[in-house]
Amino acid sequence: MMFCPKCGSLLKPKTEDNKRILVCSCGFKDKGSGPIAIKESLATKKEDKKSDAIVDSDQETLPITDAECEKCKHTKAYYWLVQTRAADEPATKFLKCVKCKHTWRDYS
């Protein structure tokens, strides 16, 4: 990638008089850069993309608090906070039972 020395924008290839030159939206033209080759990055090729593995495990990394589950009456639950409303209102506390994995909200 090359950038315009005048305004800092990205220079784009353009054909002018059967020659490839780099031009900018501000009007700058770079005619002395030699041959221009447009190559596709290896990371953008579909066959080269790697997919991330999603591992479903029972191992939780959330903090645990004392809260009674509505379903199984277990007294421990994981918790996390999410800002579900406006920024000037308190965050919503979500809880997930350690035993049965039931999830519920705590608005207090």
Is 88 an annotated catalytic residue? yes
Instruction: Choose the catalytic residue: 58, 66, 89, 106.
Output: 89
Residue 27 identity: G
Instruction: Choose the catalytic residue: 47, 48, 58, 88.
Output: 88
The dihedral through the CA atoms of 107, 57, 76, 61 has a sign that is: negative
Active site residues: 88-89
